Structure 1
């Protein structure tokens, strides 16, 4: 048991020394009628603020994101703010990153899931975007996304912006 824990610890330290871990603040916005099958009268858009943890190893990237604040805009009720308990809903993703000096291109595919019955998740976003390394260890990204299950309905309607720090 001690040997297996030691081997896992050595593998963890080696992979962290070869790759980079980053933490970011992500803001995703969607202009759509509904991402779930819930009919919403006069629904215009949704904006979600969350935390994104990513691990990059060369051109590969793996990450998870969880929201903590959601804004909805409706023609009926105006802007409504909802606090989301961090860790209740998740987006897990894997992708590729192509570095070109200060700028980079990236793409990933993910899947959403939630704990509890009140959140109806289970869709798979495909994101493509561009990023820029600003100050050493800081970066910004802009991505556009589509939901694979509702591809034609979501093309050009979902965007996210991220600012992050690489450790």
Structure 2
């Protein structure tokens, strides 16, 4: 058991030396009627704040994000905020990043899933965007997202913004 633990620790330390681990705050805004086929009267949009953990190795990156706060905007009720328990819903993704000095282009595909029966997730977003490095540690990103299962209804209606720190 000690040998297995030692090998796992060495693999983790080696992979962290080859790549970058980053933590960020992500904001996803969507202007849509409904992503879960629920008819909502006067529904205008949704805005979700979350925490994003990502690991970059060369051109490849993979990560996971979990929301903690959601705002909905409706003509009927106005702005309404909802606290989400972090870790109850997840978005896992894998993608490629092309560096051009301070700027970079990125694209990824992922899948959403949730724990609990009340949450209706299970869609696969495709994100294309660009980012800017402010220093070796700080960066910002802006992406246009679409849901593959509802491509025509969501293309150009979902955006995300991320600010992060690389360790």
TM-score range, shorter chain: over 0.9
Q: Residue 128 of structure 2 aligns with which residue?
A: 128
Q: Residue 90 of structure 1 aligns with which residue?
A: 90
* 5+ residue gaps, structure 2: none
Residue 14 (1) aligns with residue 17 (2): no
Q: Residue 62 of structure 1 aligns with which residue?
A: 62
What is the CA-CA distance between 1:118 and the residue it aligns to?
1.4
Q: How many angstroms apart in 1 are the aligned matches of 2:122 and 2:38? A: 14
Q: How many angstroms apart in 1 are the aligned matches of 2:133 and 2:143? A: 15
Q: Residue 114 of structure 1 aligns with which residue?
A: 114
Alignment of 1:12-91 (within 5 A): 12-91=12-91
Q: Which runs of 4+ in 1 moved over 6 A?
A: none
What is the CA-CA distance between 1:4 and the residue it aligns to?
1.4
Q: How many angstroms apart in 2 are the aligned matches of 1:39 and 1:113? A: 22
What is the CA-CA distance between 1:136 and the residue it aligns to?
2.9
Q: How many angstroms apart in 2 are the aligned matches of 1:117 and 1:48? A: 20
Superposed CA offset, 1:44-75 (max 9, x none) = 00000000000001101000000000000001
The SS at the match of 2:131 is strand
What TM-score do you get using the length of structure 2 for normalisation?
Answer: 0.99
What TM-score do you get using the length of structure 1 for normalisation?
Answer: 0.99
Q: How many angstroms apart in 2 are the aligned matches of 1:38 and 1:117? A: 16
Q: Residue 154 of structure 1 aligns with which residue?
A: 154
What is the CA-CA distance between 1:38 and the residue it aligns to?
1.4
Q: How many angstroms apart in 1 are the aligned matches of 2:159 and 2:109? A: 14
